[in-house]
Chains A and B, each alone.
Chain A
Amino acid sequence: MRTSFTRSLAATALIALCSTAQAGEFNAILDIGDPMPAFSDLPATDGERYSNTDLDADVVVLVSLANHCPWVRGMDQGLIDLVASFEGQSVDVVGFSVNRREDDQLPAMIEHGKKVGYNFTYVYDDSQEIGRALGATRTPEYFVFDKDRKLAYMGLLHDSPARETRSGEILFTNGEPSQFFAQNAVGSTLLGNAADPAETRAQGCSVKYE
């Protein structure tokens, strides 16, 4: 019995190790093709509460955000443009914040969203579970899910991550963006095609899990 239990424990450990090994190239938890994690009753900047079951579009984009992060502020306009470009198409975009610092929580999210003109649902998860389940460790970080809610793409918005400097200028790391990874991934997924690339190395602030 003990031997069997030990074997079972070893097998569990091996599965856990394999799970880690099979996570994404730049994500310790999730891999391409994995199902979208569930979330429930998260408060949003519009005063409503949202669950994953509220999302019925063909493509769902979850975006890890944090108001305080200069990379988020540097790429806010890019995110707003991305959402606008799919207006009228079957795409749901949900931004989420999980940091517990005051300037990343709901009151500050409402203020920031209004200031920059966020045109998508923006939820806060004090439990941090949605971030943990996605393996979201940077802001901004994009997760695109297909109609079956399988992960089709994760990583960067585009190939020239931008940051707001101390004096408020927007600084693009690699000049004018030329490869719009998230945009292309949403477009391909809408057509039922695989995103290429399916994963990129997101660049931004660290998410702090507590």
Chain B
Amino acid sequence: MSKWPRFAVLLVLLAGSAGAAAPTRMEVIKLSDWPGIVARSQPQILVVDIWASWCISCIERFPEMVAMTERYGPESVSFVTLNLDDPQDAEGIAWADAFLGRMGGRFSNYHLQENLTISFEALDLNAIPVVLIFDGQGRERYRLTNDNPNKQFQKQDIEDGVQALLTERG
């Protein structure tokens, strides 16, 4: 078999990656890495903000998350952002990376390399923004979504979830 097709594929891959710099503030992870990231936060409570650069609601409410990271010490609560921009969309990923730089806050930032269809299926999501809150044992205790028109989550729901887990821990 000719080596030419393989060479052509390599050229296409190189051309595709040109100008698409890897994000500097977000660690690129696979879905299979996610349970390990959740486990690493133990024994802290973990707040996960799931977002993307195209999600205007996510962008608009992000300053509230930044303020939260300043209210809770790292010894009690960890904060993670999980970005779901499409892996083909270098422009969107670069925007997201720059946005996180502008916003600051005490976050560990991750970008999922699987696309939205796969990520939504795997994480059982219907839409973003979504905030997940895990207890000190790494168990998901709160899943705050906009999936029910009559019960969409508010900033206070995140605070209440964190406070409840802190109280429970004593």
* A contact set with B: CB distance below 8 Å: 26, 28-29, 68, 70-71, 128, 131-132, 135-138, 161, 163, 165-167, 171, 173-174, 201-209
* B contact set with A: CB distance below 8 Å: 53-57, 86, 88-89, 91-92, 95, 115-117, 120-121, 126-129, 146-152
Q: List 15 A-B contacts (CB under 8 A).
A: A28-B147, A29-B149, A29-B150, A68-B56, A131-B149, A136-B149, A137-B149, A163-B86, A165-B91, A171-B89, A174-B117, A206-B55, A206-B57, A209-B146, A209-B152
Complex CA distance for A167 and B91, rounded to whole angstroms: 8
**CB-CB < 8 A to A174: which residues of B?**
115, 117
Complex CA distance for A131 and B55, rounded to whole angstroms: 19
Complex CA distance for A174 and B117, rounded to whole angstroms: 8
Question: In the complex, which of the residues A128, A171, A201, A205 contacts B86, with contact meaning CB atoms closer than 8 Å?
Answer: A171
B126→A165 contact, CB < 8 A = no
**CB-CB < 8 A to A201: which residues of B?**
120-121, 126
**CB-CB < 8 A to B117: which residues of A?**
161, 173-174, 203
For chain B, what secondary structure do more than half of its interface residues adopt (helix, strand, loop), or is it mixed?
loop
**CB-CB < 8 A to B151: which residues of A?**
28
Complex CA distance for A166 and B90, rounded to whole angstroms: 11
Q: Would you give the shortest CB distance from A168 to chain B, in whole angstroms?
A: 10
Complex CA distance for A163 and B52, rounded to whole angstroms: 12
Complex CA distance for A28 and B145, rounded to whole angstroms: 11
Complex CA distance for A159 and B92, rounded to whole angstroms: 22
Q: Beyond the given A137-B127, A171-B89, could you list 16 further A-B residue pairs with CB under 8 A, ordered by the A residue number?
A: A28-B147, A28-B148, A28-B150, A29-B150, A68-B56, A71-B54, A128-B149, A137-B149, A138-B126, A138-B127, A166-B53, A201-B126, A203-B117, A207-B146, A209-B149, A209-B152
**CB-CB < 8 A to A26: which residues of B?**
126
Chain A residue at smallest Cβ distance from B150: A132
**CB-CB < 8 A to B128: which residues of A?**
206
Asked if A208 meets B86 with Cβ closer than 8 Å, knowing A161-B117, A166-B95, A201-B126, the reply is no
Question: In the complex, which of the residues B54, B121, B126 contacts A70, with contact meaning CB atoms closer than 8 Å?
Answer: B54
A171→B127 contact, CB < 8 A = no
**CB-CB < 8 A to A70: which residues of B?**
54
Asked if A29 meets B86 with Cβ closer than 8 Å, knowing A166-B91, A166-B95, A203-B117, the reply is no
Complex CA distance for A174 and B91, rounded to whole angstroms: 18
Question: In the complex, which of the residues A131, A203, A206 contacts B129, with contact meaning CB atoms closer than 8 Å?
Answer: A206
A208→B89 contact, CB < 8 A = no
B116→A208 contact, CB < 8 A = no
Asked if A207 meets B149 with Cβ closer than 8 Å, knowing A167-B91, A171-B86, A173-B116, the reply is yes
